[in-house]
Structure 1
Amino acid sequence: MSEPWRPFGVEDDEVDAYDALVDGVPEWMHSSFWSWVFTAFHVPLDAQQAYESGQDFGFDRDRLMRFERRCRVRVGFVADPNVGKELANMQRALERKGLELTLADFLIAEGHPSRAESLETILHEAGSMWKVGTRAGKPGLVRRVPEAVQDAADRAMASSGHAGKRLAEAWSATFGMRPDPSKAYALSVKAVEDAAIPLVCPTAGNPTLGTVIRQMRDQKNWSLPMQRDDPDVTSGSALFGIMKMLWAGHADRHGGHEAQRLDITQEEAEIAVMAAVILVQWFTSGAVSRRSMRRLDA
């Protein structure tokens, strides 16, 4: 596998800094990004309008106002008869409020797929931590993760029925532009419940992941199809350990005294959704099953 191209002069000790993903719109992405944005606000004028204004295109104020309404923000740009100045005024207002990527997210959600593809090219080549993914069934900006991890998550989401759909919601809540760690963690747990309950305790009343864990612990013979096991950490105990970690780590699952509550952190949400990807895939693919008696550490 060949090394990715890097500019002439990037030395070995500078590779990590060059490859580090960046947030926002860095200066080397500025021209490409705003050229992409501006094309979305060009409205072709008819011959009479073009003659009267001396311009081939007008400014799509309706789209900007729709952005304000849908995103609950006020851009506050200064209108101008000259489309070039109007675009520049919009750019300054959005940069002042830090809304550049929010606007891009809005534009790809309501635009043609080719616009999403061209934005993804810009983001990828500029080393952005954001990429064009899917949120709520529409194109949207999501946090970039290693390609192999993303591929594994996509496969689990696409092939796991209702659990996969719930897992996709958890992924969006974790890596979307407005992360919600508490929601992400809860949805990760529910995705595993959707995958595990029909297999482990289909007749239980109001089962939870805790119910699954207790039944697997009592039955002691759930495992993965490994031909060889470590005598201290069998495939069954590894499976059981990941599930217990996910369940125990759901710190805001219950109410209670405010001083005793623990807010879910972004790091915990990321661990939870990654664990859920593995567990959902294992349970829905048939990898998890009851086999010869193997001990699950309680």
Structure 2
Amino acid sequence: MTGVDNPPWRPLNERGNGSAGPRELVKGVPDYLAPTLRQWLFQAVAKDRGSDGPVTKRVGSDLLESLRLRLRNEVIYVDPGSSGLIREWLYQGDDLLVLVDAVLAIKEPLANATDVAVQRERVLWVIHVKELGFRLAEAGSVWQVNRDLSGLEERVDGAVRSSVDAALAAADDDTSTCLRKAWDKAYGLQPDPSEAYSQAVKAVEAATIPVYLPGTPKPTLGTVLRKLENSSSPYTLVVDAGDGTPAPADPVVALMRLLWEGHRDRHPGGTTTKPITLESARAAVQIAVLIVQLVVSGAVLIPSL
């Protein structure tokens, strides 16, 4: 993967050989990145153990204990030493990413805390997380810190990420929660394609049902589709057709239909049931982002009765 927010810088020897453009992003943990991740983890634990009092207790003070419990691994590190600080992580190689991802998840409440009493600690932690993001980008890693500072996600084109951020900002809480979960399950360190697709559908349902089927009991995206496709007065877009009249909303409805019918693992046991692939899940999430943007922005016009 190249060109995804990857600066087109190359060392002098590579430029001398005629190489140009960004280098390939690295998916795992190469030898040159491992010491940086270990140092970041060491500093995270040092910061956690160095801060005490009610502030720390409120956000969880024993990071190592939380890591042991969440990862269900009795031994996280080797030889803690008399000072109680880590000298070496037991996890090596690509598993270092698992540790980093877990640390971010554990400290997420602090990263997004609004309590005035924890702001100094929050700012220091956010700076530490931003440093991690900078180092990952500098190393050409395919991984980056997610928008909530709660874990790692696969690096995507900046324009794609901006469109997701715009949809999250414009949507209501229910829609943005589902969309955020869908994105995390599609692009996170440990993806879950089935859940990503399911949450993408739920995000579109959360955005469309209050608009097109307010007050309807037990509505689904399928119910929304029947409403849009069978309306006696057609739904239109804010974009004009070639003859100057409002363009029909058929393209948006077609995307909804594609998302709905592509959810092939929704009902297990059917003749067309099949597992959701990661590629399919990611496409579904990006389709959901576009639909949510169009619906919440008012681009799909409701016909006057």
TM range (shorter): 0.7 to 0.9
CA offsets, 1:59-111, max 9 Å, x none?
A: xx9533321112223446442636699513x2xx2016x42012112333427
Partner of 2:167: 156
Change (3 A) 1:134 1:235: same
- Structure 2 counterpart of 1:225, one-letter code: V
- Which of the residues 192, 196, 200 maps onto 1:188? 200
Contact 1:164–1:280 under 8 Å retained in 2: no
Change (3 A) 1:227 1:152: same
Partner of 1:239: 252
Contact 1:222–1:290 under 8 Å retained in 2: yes
Instruction: Output the CA distance in 2 between the equivalents of 1:13 and 1:214.
Output: 58
- Which of the residues 169, 177, 198 maps onto 2:210? 198
Partner of 1:70: 70
Deviation at 1:275, TM superposition (A): 0.3
- Structure 2 counterpart of 1:6, one-letter code: R
CA offsets, 1:224-283, max 9 Å, x none?
A: 22123599xx652211211111011000111325x7531111111100100000001111
Question: Helix, strand or coil for the counterpart of 1:94?
Answer: coil
Instruction: Output the CA distance in 1 between the equivalents of 2:140 and 2:254.
Output: 36
Question: Helix, strand or coil for the counterpart of 1:32?
Answer: helix
Partner of 1:269: 281
- Which of the residues 289, 294, 297 maps onto 2:301? 289
Moved over 6 A (4+): 82-85
Instruction: Output the CA distance in 1 between the equivalents of 2:73 and 2:152.
Output: 18
Partner of 1:55: none
Partner of 1:170: 182
Partner of 1:278: 290
Deviation at 1:5, TM superposition (A): 3.0
Partner of 1:141: 152
Question: Helix, strand or coil for the counterpart of 2:151?
Answer: strand
Question: Helix, strand or coil for the counterpart of 2:240?
Answer: coil
- Structure 2 counterpart of 1:33, one-letter code: L
Partner of 1:23: 27
- Structure 1 counterpart of 2:206, one-letter code: D
- Give the count of matched residue pairs: 264
Partner of 1:94: 91
Higher helix residue share: 1
Partner of 2:104: 108
Contact 2:78–2:87 under 8 Å retained in 1: no
Change (3 A) 1:150 1:13: farther
Contact 1:120–1:131 under 8 Å retained in 2: yes
Deviation at 1:160, TM superposition (A): 0.3
Quick check: 189-198 or 215-224, which moved more? 215-224
Partner of 1:129: 142
Change (3 A) 1:195 1:62: closer
2:225 pairs with 1:228:
no
Mind listing any 5+ residue stretches in structure 2 that lack a counterpart?
A: 1-6, 51-60, 111-124
- Structure 1 counterpart of 2:72, one-letter code: R
